Structure 1
Amino acid sequence: SKDRKSRDRKPTGDLPLTSPEYLAIFKDGLGRKVEEERQGVERWHDIYPGIAPRILSHHQQGDSAALLIEHLPGMTLEHLLINESSRLNRTAQQALVETLHSVWTTTRRDKPVTAGHMRQLLKRLSDVYQIHPEFRHCGASLCGREMPSLEALIEQAAGLERSLEAPFAVYIHGDFNVDNILFDPAKQSIRFIDLHRSAYQDYVQDVSVHMVSHYRLQLTDAALRARILALALSFGQQMRRFAHEQGDTTFEWRLALGLARSFATSTRFILDAGLAGRMFNRARFILEHVLGADPERPADYRIPLEELFVD
């Protein structure tokens, strides 16, 4: 579907719907896709009012449809990471963490759930190989020892994952990249956009996607990249604290599998061979690391985030 959404957002003031200067975003495309977007926004208004934009108009004709969606004030976190100060980024991240705590506490359902990270990874692996055929396993060995293929590691991890349910479900964004989150410096508030994948699920799904969306930013400035990766690491550490507070003893295992999935599948959007290779190797490293841990002692496992979020 065609999406005429502006990616370069600037802070604006709130305007009433009756104002001729009211800013909106026009989206049109296949009716099914547009309807998913509309339903995603409306569900957020029912479940956690105020965090999603308003639907101003919806029109369907045949197989096509269009939406007019409120243009929210603020800047994407992607814009902040690349263009704004460390201080403002820390302020935005703290607002995000507080918002997530509120959303997850409000929407919590005490029913175990499994995200299926390995199933998601297998589903997208052919797309990864289409962009990066060099990632296919070709009988490699190290010091005379045959290295298992990524598919073999995924199969083993999928068996492990079936025993690693999240103890509760929350309402998640579903595509929690840094360009789908807005921060309004004037109000110190967080808002979400692109909500068609939202659902009740394991919160680790959003955590892992968000952290890897920092890493996959294609930047050449070493100091800026180091600062952004430090922010990703800081976010992961704050999520650890949330998991500890909730008594979530399998958080580290599920985060490992979520990060492996996100690192690997995100390479299909990366044409830079060096960056894509580092991401793919991280996915493989994580799977080997988690499969080498003792499943009988889940509370003792800790994923080495400090090694992953540094170049």
Structure 2
Amino acid sequence: MKIKLKKHFVRFNVLVISVVLLLLMLILLLGQRSEVTLSRWLITGVISIVVVYIASNVIAKRAIAPIEESWQKQLDFTSSASHELRTPLAVIKTSLEIVMDNPEESVESQMRWLENIYAETERMSRLTEDLLWLSRSDEHKLKLDKKEFQLNDQVRQVVSQYSLVAKQKKINIKLIDTDVIQINAIESQMKQLLLILLDNAVKYTKENGNVTLSLAENNHSVVILVKDTGIGIPEDELVHVFERFYRVDKARNSEIEGSGLGLAIAKDIVSNHNGTIEIQSKETIGTEIVVTIPK
């Protein structure tokens, strides 16, 4: 499709210019009928068409480059989304087939397969919500209802929410914040940002590890820092971590559930607030993410 677009663009340009040149040549030749003049104009016309073709080819390549890039991103996005949905659908289908093949069994005896169905349905629901969020973000349809609120309260709620998960993994969550930090932001998005950052930190930290979430402010900005003692990220992969559906070393982390959309959404949220997000990490040592958002 991309090649056809390019060829059609070039051919259209060449056709239009060629017709214009031929019309001009015919008009000029009506008054001059000598063979020398005719040959000269024919040579000039051929050279002009060649030059126009080359120029059109260059212009077409530059003009279509953004379209090609956008098209490729759309294909990659669709392919990745389909791949992420395929696994839970397969689990749900298999579990349902097992349940349906044993209609005489009680609900209790089939609980294992029903729990699988429930878990994968939840996973698909979260993935669908993330995809919808990104789609609205791309189309600039997200409601920007900023208001002033205390960020400390929200941070404490998120830490409390993850304390049970962390306790089960024997992970210690340490919260460092000040008394009151007021911020003018989209409250729901800030909560989602905090959930993503803390979820990633807990998810990739092994047993007996530590996760630190600190909140600070200066004259113009709020700084959120999330630091963990997790498995870390290879240096050559840090540049990709904010890409959609990107997961660091999928083979190594295959046992860790995730779609690779969390940090992509986090980056979009930070961008919506004209802020910055930076990441530093070392393998086997841990990861540190710093978010700075104007107050």
- Give the TM-score, by structure 2 length: 0.25
Which has the bigger relative contact order, CA under 8 A and spacing at least 6?
1
Work out which of the two has the higher radius of gyration on C-alpha atoms and give 1 or 2. Answer: 2
Greater fraction of residues in helix = 2
